[in-house]
Amino acid sequence: MKKENIYDILKGKFLIKDDAIKNWRFIVFASFLALIMIASSHWADEKVHEIARLNDEVKRLKSEFVETRTTLQQLKLESYITEKVANTGLAPSKNPPQKIRVTSQQ
């Protein structure tokens, strides 16, 4: 490439020549594509941040679920229930339960 051609490009003479309309069309098209690419990148970054936030929330909710389930299992234990109702005078039965059989009389 000649030195004059490089100076013409740097000075922007290719934008003011007679056939500059095709150059302008390409520049506008390339700018439009660049804007679309930047917007797409931002949307992708937003999605990544949203996914990370939702993963953190899922971890927190799983932890809360496990903690609640453990607490419920402890509350359902017979020893815990016996301890809580002991001051009301209730106690476990000393005799095992018996089956009641009903026979129909026809």
pLDDT at 22: 78
Name the pLDDT band for 1 (thresholds 50, 70, 90).
low
Cα gap 44→31, rounded to integer Å: 20
Here the tokens at position 87 are: 């001051």
Report which DSSP code applies to 16. T
Residue 25 domain-assigned? yes
Residues 63, 42: Cα–Cα separation, whole Å: 32
The tokens describing 30, both together, are 């390339």
Q: Which residue type, as a one-letter code, is found at position 24?
A: W
> Does a structural domain hold residue 76?
yes
pLDDT tens-digit map of 6-29: 777 777 777 777 777 877 888 899
Q: 24 with 15: CB under 8 angstroms? A: yes
pLDDT in tens, 65-96: 999 999 999 999 988 888 888 888 888 888 88
Q: Which domain holds residue 44?
A: 3-86
- Could you tell me which residues come within 8 angstroms of residue 15 by beta carbon, excluding any fewer than 6 positions away? 23, 24, 27
Residue 47 within a domain:
yes
Domain count, the chain: 1
- Between helices 20-75 and 78-85, what is the axis angle to 10°? 60
Please report whether residue 82 resides in a domain.
yes
* Residue 20 pLDDT: 76
DSSP category for residue 12: T
